[in-house]
Amino acid sequence: MRARAAGAPVVHVQHVSAQGTRFEPGGAGRRIHARVAPRAGEAIIEKRKPDGFQGSTLEGVLRELGRTDLVLCGFATEACFDSTVRSTHARGFTLELAADGHSTTANPVLDAKSIIAHHNFVLSRFAKVKPGAEIAFA
């Protein structure tokens, strides 16, 4: 990851739900893809709500790192990603989004590509949206 190569801190936010659900502790839905798996020293924040800040330690960790300019990537574009982007903005952070750094699955109304395109447009009100290759890390 370019963020790691630049020495920027990387913080992972991982959803957790009750036993018997897709996101139960140790469940398949909680696996982080090997390409972005946490490395030693990287914070892992557990969340139970779509908004990565609600009821979690995310804001405290970011403030402790002294970071106000953030880059956000993630899954569930129309749910967790959208909620966390808006909440990040509301907390006064400056945000860049990799237009190609979030994903989702189709739903009965829209295919995944349309959901992502729509959210890149809408979330540009809260963040600078650009291709991931154009994001610089410091």
What pLDDT sits at residue 111? Answer: 97
Q: Can you say how many angstroms the Cα of residue 81 is from the centroid of all Cα atoms in its chain?
A: 6
Whether the pLDDT of residue 87 is over 80: the answer is: yes
**Cβ–Cβ < 8 Å for 53, 61:** no
Whether the pLDDT of residue 1 is over 80: the answer is: no
Is domain 2-134 annotated with CATH 3.40.190.10?
no
Q: Return the active site residues.
A: 80
Residues 62-87, mean pLDDT to the nearest whole number: 95
Please tell me the pTM assigned to this model: 0.92
